[in-house]
Amino acid sequence: MMTKFLSAFLAFLLLALPVAAQQEPVFTLNVNVDLVEVHVSVVDGSDRPVGNLTKENFRLMEDRVLQNISVFKHEDIPVSLGLVIDNSRSIEPRKQRLDSAAVSFVRKSNPEDEIFIVHFDDRAWLARDFTANVPELIETLASVKPYGQTAIYDAIILALDHMEHAANTKKAILLVTDGVDNVSRHALGETIEAIKRSRVAIFPVGLLSLSGGLKAEESLIRIAEASGGRAYFPENVEQARMVMERVARDLREQYTLGYFPTNPQHDGAWRSVRVDVIPPAAFPPGFKLIANYRHGYYGPKK
């Protein structure tokens, strides 16, 4: 009797399963991993930051094709930061004051930022891994003695490589130096290519001497422009402190524009990006707004 009951029950289950399968809907989640984010700093003609803009004040184009801005944020979001600090012999008279300026930059940044330090002289090395602990950063900055020459390009590439371990999607490097690269194993062109392949904005602060200053200035400008950052050339340490604090402020006030490119190709080719800022109607006629951002990226590749 029990055997007949079990057989009938199993037969019922076999008949019911297809029906249940038909009744239960199947949900699939499609995630588009091609979202591109562009971080934009906006200033007026007097180089003052401009806030309170909306999505309608921005027009974004990729390879001259207008894109739909799907994500718009103007928030103080955490950043993964790299302090890339010159430790060459020539920095020695200003080292303590520049270290203090770098600490001021950290204190003006978002408290939730994670920060690492790369020092460079004849070589470049990771002096402190990602941390939000300010006393640890102060200790690391003070722990080295100036020595040797200036391996800027090696330091940048090391910092870009270390950014692969960053926890935040927004990434930036503050580069502090007083001279021209004279000992790196990597060349400027190789460094620029590495920058273009990264998603890291670089902000060089160059306290440059008359000797080699023009050459150094040109290379630092190229580095900044390739990354979507901006180069600064203060005349003294106090101006350098003010510049670093400004970079910290600008990072906290950037606009984030996100879009899904209309170009469906996954060929790894370079794509140019252009952002135009349209002043609000309430602004005076002819009011000029200037956007600073990364002007392109390498597309996805299969």
pLDDT in tens, 242-278: 999 999 999 999 999 999 999 999 999 999 999 999 9
Contact 77, 130 (CB under 8 A): no
What CATH number should be reported for the domain whose range is 80-252?
3.40.50.410
CB neighbours of residue 3 within 10 Å: 7
Per-residue pLDDT band for 179 (boundaries 50, 70, 90) equals confident
**182-202: per-residue pLDDT in tens?**
999 999 999 999 999 999 999
Read off φ and ψ for residue 212, nearest 5 degrees: 80, 5
pLDDT averaged over the chain?
89
Q: In angstroms, rounded to a whole number, what is the distance separating the alpha carbons of residues 262 and 214?
A: 41
The reported pLDDT for the residue numbered 34 is 85
Per-residue pLDDT, averaged over 97-109, amounts to 97
The reported pLDDT for the residue numbered 28 is 32
Residue type at position 135: P
Q: pLDDT higher for 124 or 28?
A: 124
Q: pLDDT higher for 1 or 233?
A: 233
Which among 282, 260, 279, 263 has a CA at the least distance from the CA of 271? 263
Q: In angstroms, rounded to a whole number, what is the distance separating the alpha carbons of residues 107 and 168?
A: 18
Read off φ and ψ for residue 177, nearest 5 degrees: -150, 165
The reported pLDDT for the residue numbered 16 is 43
Name the burial class of residue 17, with classes exposed (0-12), middle (13-18) and buried (19+) by CB atoms within 10 angstroms of its CB: exposed
Compute CA distances 142 → 91, 106, 120, 121, 128, whole Å. Answer: 13, 15, 14, 15, 12
The reported pLDDT for the residue numbered 211 is 55
The angle, 0 to 180 degrees and rounded to 10, between the axes of the packed helices 188-197 and 152-162 is 20
Cα Rg, the chain, nearest whole Å = 26
Q: In angstroms, rounded to a whole number, what is the distance separating the alpha carbons of residues 69 and 54?
A: 11
Per-residue pLDDT, averaged over 58-84, amounts to 97
Per-residue pLDDT band for 215 (boundaries 50, 70, 90) equals confident
Per-residue pLDDT band for 26 (boundaries 50, 70, 90) equals very low
pLDDT at residue 84 above 90? yes
Domain with CATH 3.40.50.410 in the chain: 80-252
Q: In angstroms, rounded to a whole number, what is the distance separating the alpha carbons of residues 190 and 70?
A: 34
The reported pLDDT for the residue numbered 13 is 42
What tokens does 137 get? 């950063």
Q: pLDDT higher for 180 or 125?
A: 125
Residue corresponding to tokens 């920060």: 115
The contacts of residue 283 (CB under 8 Å, 6+ apart) are: none
Share of the chain above pLDDT 70, in %: 88
Read off φ and ψ for residue 45, nearest 5 degrees: -65, -15
CB neighbours of residue 98 within 10 Å: 23
pLDDT at residue 107 above 70? yes
> Which of the 8 DSSP states describes residue 45?
T
Q: pLDDT higher for 180 or 209?
A: 180
pTM: 0.88
Triad 60, 64, 65: Cα angle to 5°? 70
